[in-house]
Amino acid sequence: MTAANERVVIFDTTLRDGEQCPGATMTFDEKLEVAHLLDRMGVDIIEAGFPIASNGDFEAVAEIARRTENAVVAGLARAIPGDIARCGEAVRFAKRPRIHTFVSTSPIHLKHQMRKTEEEVLEIIATTVAQARNLVDDVEWSAMDATRTGHEYLARAVEAAIRAGATTINLPDTVGYATPDEYRAMFVAMRERVPGADKVIFSTHCHDDLGLAVANSLAGLAGGARQIECTVNGIGERAGNAALEEIVMALRTRRDALPYETGVESTLLTRASRLVSAATSFPVQYNKAIVGKNAFAHESGIHQDGMLKNNETYEIMTPATVGVTKTSLVMGKHSGRAAFKDKLKALGYELGENALQDAFARFKELADRKKHVYDEDIEALVDNQIASGNDRIKVLSLIVIAGTMGPQSATLTLDIEGVHTTVQSTGNGPVDAIFNAIRSVAPHEASLALYQVHAVTEGTDAQAEVSVRLEEGEKTVSAKVADPDTLVASAKAYVAALNKLTVKRQQVNAQAAISA
């Protein structure tokens, strides 16, 4: 790293924009876990949520603000006085609070969504940014749909925000429409045209509708931006956001072409990816850059030959730089608590005493059932624990009768808020019987949109990881659970999705109450 390398601020919006992805709702405890890891990683700014959205979102933002040691904690607010006041109330507990407020600027948004004139929006910007600045010293203003806004009017809007006290100006590619050249040129134009532009930090926020989010974010740096907004695994609205891990490793690997640095500890990228995947129940595609299962795998004979001779023939970064280690077989039923704790630390986990004891007990149970316990097994075990720590409904026991003769049946016992209920149901196959049993104990109108199974590791005794997605009206939730027994994993995944659906209902009801 040379003295010429400029610092790029990493703004993570996994907990806000990422959670807006249909089915990616996280629980309160999951959000705290993710925020804690982001802070450990060295992320500069954590956008913790949208405080006005619900009481749950407000409480999550407030608690993250209280707990975060190093990062700036931001909350999102529309350009509405009530939103900004609520956001200020949530982030005031942070050591370094930020209010992030936004308003649309493009002609199509002003005409069809805002139904305001350009002059009316300029007045809204001046009023609401000033209100936010009276609450905190650090105010970010975003021009929603900036890339479809004419440069002349965009410059006027940016100037109004700076005059009102904004310290960061975000010019998002809200719909993923821009090309890298267009995005770079927009930042160049704003920095040249707007008085006071040299006194603020410009930021990128790119969506991946055309697969250009990372490329556009890097182009924004070339245009003068020094903050990049991104999410772990690139989750977010529609096709998602620029992926944090791809941004960080692009800057680290190509310092010759991209002379910038970040404060992110890259060895925690894989851990963050797996935690967010577990919390949202969104699996990471095998060929995902940086953190995908196959990102450092080589099957082609030519590639394998090159790797045996020199790793640099086909790897532009080492697995260790992103926290990937070779699968270990040393953990088993004879392993002690100290060794288990050390293994967790090596995998990037820091658990409290009670959580550690619970995880160790579950590890011992797993070790009695499996011949080999892989690193991935331990990660799945702990991630399941984090995801289901405060569930309203829990699976206590399951007995399934299956075979060619039929009908298949399931006897299931659930714990629903401390009350144990046992029921027997039949179905067209064992999984159908299990889900019918769950529906009879916990009735609901949600439909099963996805049921998917894959093995966590190799071997006939591998844990099965089951993903379930439920849809109820416009509400979509997903859950993912691993267990050596595929049918047990299926029951637990379905119940986990039901628990998330309950949380989602509460959020929707709270939002309806606020709107009323």
Residue list, annotated binding site = 17, 205, 207, 241
Best CA proximity match to 347, nearest among 268, 279, 292: 268
Best CA proximity match to 170, nearest among 206, 137, 207: 206
Question: Which phi and psi angles does 471 have, rounded to 5°?
Answer: -125, 130
Question: Which phi and psi angles does 151 have, rounded to 5°?
Answer: -60, -35
| Residue that is written with structure tokens 């910038």 in the block | 260
Pairwise CA distance, residues 296 & 132, whole Å: 45
Q: Are 202 and 224 in contact (CB under 8 A)?
A: yes
Question: How would you write 71-115 as a 3-class SS string?
Answer: CEEEEEEECCHHHHHHHHHHHCCCCCEEEEEEEECCHHHHHHHHC
Angle between helical axes of 28-41 and 55-67 (0-180°, round to 10):
30
Q: Are 278 and 384 in contact (CB under 8 A)?
A: yes
The one-letter code for the residue type at 140 is: E
How far is residue 264 from each of residues 72, 242, 267, measured CA to CA in Å? 14, 16, 9
Secondary-structure percent of the chain, ordered helix, strand, coil, rounded to 5:
45, 20, 35
Pairwise CA distance, residues 247 & 251, whole Å: 6
- The DSSP 8-state label assigned to residue 197 in this structure reads G
Give the Cβ contact number of residue 216 at 10 Å.
Answer: 26
Q: Which residue ranges make up the annotated binding site for Mn(2+)?
A: 17, 205, 207, 241
